[in-house]
Amino acid sequence: MQTRLTACESTAKPCGMFDIRPAAYVIGLLVVVLGATMLLPMLMDIYDGNGEWWVFGISALLTCLTGGSIALACARVSGEGLTIQQTFLLTTGVWVVLPVFGALPFWFGATDARMVDGFFEAMSALTTTGSTVLTGLSDLPRGLLLWRGLMQWFGGVGIIVVAMVFMPLLRVGGMQIFRTEGFDTFGKILPRAATIARSISSIYLVLTLACMVGYSFAGLGLFDALVHAMTTIATGGFANYDSSFGEFGAGVEYVGVVFMLLAALPFVRYVQLLAGSAVPLFQDSQVRVFLAISLGVVTILFIWQLTRLDVITELAFRKAAFNGVSILTGTGYASSDYGLWGSFPVTFFFFIGLIGGCAGSTTCSIKVFRFQLLFASIHTQIQHIHSPNGVFHPKYNRRKVGPDVMSSVMAFLMFFMLSLAVLSVGLGMTGLDMVTSVSGAASALANIGPGLGPEIGPAGNFSGLNDTAKWLLAAGMLIGRLELMAVFVLFTANFWRG
């Protein structure tokens, strides 16, 4: 007598639940890649004669074995047709799992970091936030400094792929508006992701090399030029020195400004540019508005320094350009303690950090296109008030924007502000003062890096915070980097139903 298996029995999947194995398979492979990457800082430590090279060897072995085991256990499942649920799980799971393994060298190595500090540093690196709990950076082994830079570099290219492949599909925060950019992925998520990743990675690598050459010509040594090029293009902000870019000369700051701006532009436009079409780049309203905002930010800070701080012209312009662009793009470098510039610049830096760069770049925060859609909606409402019988539609890049996009953007903006308020209150409940709590929450959710105030401002770091605050901030980095909704949806009951 032949027995007929049910769908659940034939796939060995529990009934009432969706299959997590396709997502776990990809996560396992990425863990293996992360482990293999650890061999690079290990070789650096061997070259330097550092006796702690074994830290990366052990970490790489543990990471590769764990990731390989997960991938092999799920290898029979094809990832060709990820469902929406599996895509959400994959997107969030990658940024939860990788920091755990990325923290191993901090736990075992020269920093002798505690669990919370190692995880905080790894999460900050992979989400390209740039907040750090480490001090005495110039005294750390070069292998560990290279590892911090590598994690930010991989996190930067990873978030571009997520923004261009997964977010439009998941309809997170209005990102579905970019599905018309020639990257339709429904039903073929992973193959299309691999194709896009190859194109983006080539451009990403070229920009990194160009930035490294620029830093070298500006006076940096080869190692510093490499690490800072990786964290610049990732708009991550990890530096090799406690004083960040305050360690370097004027030429290095100017190079940094140029490449932070380039990294904040949509990478899909670079793909189109290399394909022979420069028109989309120059016609993209998001690019034009971002560059206009950048110019406005630099101009305001420049005038403030000239009129209020009595700084010489070139120095005022350089500090305004570097620090303004760094915070606007969420890179988080600092070449001076702008907390000492006065109350207006401090407030100004807080708000420009919430803007961010363009969608499809390595930058973070709310992003320029959402502000464009917000003002387009406000303009439409004003038109309706003036002409109640008229028919008006918000537009973006000269195209009408559907109500689903507008509602998604408005929900994102409200959720961002609500999350900012809740995280700020949570940090305050741990004993932090208001400035540290609010600026720390904004720094984490917008993935900026430094906060405000003497403790977590540009002249300090996050090492002195209590453990609860560090865990909360690490969670904020994850939530902010994945556009909030992609994480919060996992906590709904309907998500886990088959």
Task: Read off the pLDDT of residues 231-266 as tens digits, 9 standing for 90 and up.
Answer: 999 999 999 999 999 889 999 999 999 999 999 999
Residue 341's Cβ-side half-sphere holds a number of Cα atoms within 13 Å equal to 30
Residue corresponding to tokens 């482990």: 35
Q: Is the pLDDT of residue 41 over 70?
A: yes
Per-residue pLDDT, 83: 79
Per-residue pLDDT, 174: 67
- Least Cα distance to 232 among 216, 208, 249, 197 occurs for 208
Per-residue pLDDT, 18: 67
- pLDDT category, 385, cuts 50, 70, 90? confident
- pLDDT category, 288, cuts 50, 70, 90? very high
Per-residue pLDDT, 15: 47
- pLDDT category, 198, cuts 50, 70, 90? confident
Task: Read off the pLDDT of residues 136-184 as tens digits, 9 standing for 90 and up.
Answer: 998 999 999 999 999 999 999 888 877 777 777 667 676 766 654 544 4
**Which of 34-38, 88-92, 388-392 has the lowest average pLDDT?**
388-392
- Helices 343-352 and 313-328 pack at an angle, to 10 degrees, of 40
Q: Is the pLDDT of residue 187 over 60?
A: no
CA angle 277, 260, 474 (to 5 degrees): 120
pTM above 0.75, yes or no: yes
For residues 162 and 172, the answer to whether their CB atoms sit within 8 Å is no
CA angle 246, 290, 381 (to 5 degrees): 135
Mean pLDDT, rounded, for 7-24: 60
Rounded CA gap, 214 and 256, in Å? Answer: 9
Rounded CA gap, 299 and 306, in Å? Answer: 11
- pLDDT category, 269, cuts 50, 70, 90? confident
Rounded CA gap, 185 and 88, in Å? Answer: 14
Task: Read off the pLDDT of residues 56-78 as tens digits, 9 standing for 90 and up.
Answer: 999 999 999 999 999 998 887 65
In three-state form (DSSP H/G/I as H, E/B as E, the rest C), the secondary structure along 293-359 is HHHHHHHHHHHHHHHHHCCCHHHHHHHHHHHHHHHHCCCCCCCCCHHHCCHHHHHHHHHHCCCCCCC
Per-residue pLDDT, 462: 94
Mean pLDDT, rounded, for 19-46: 92
* DSSP one-letter code for 137: G
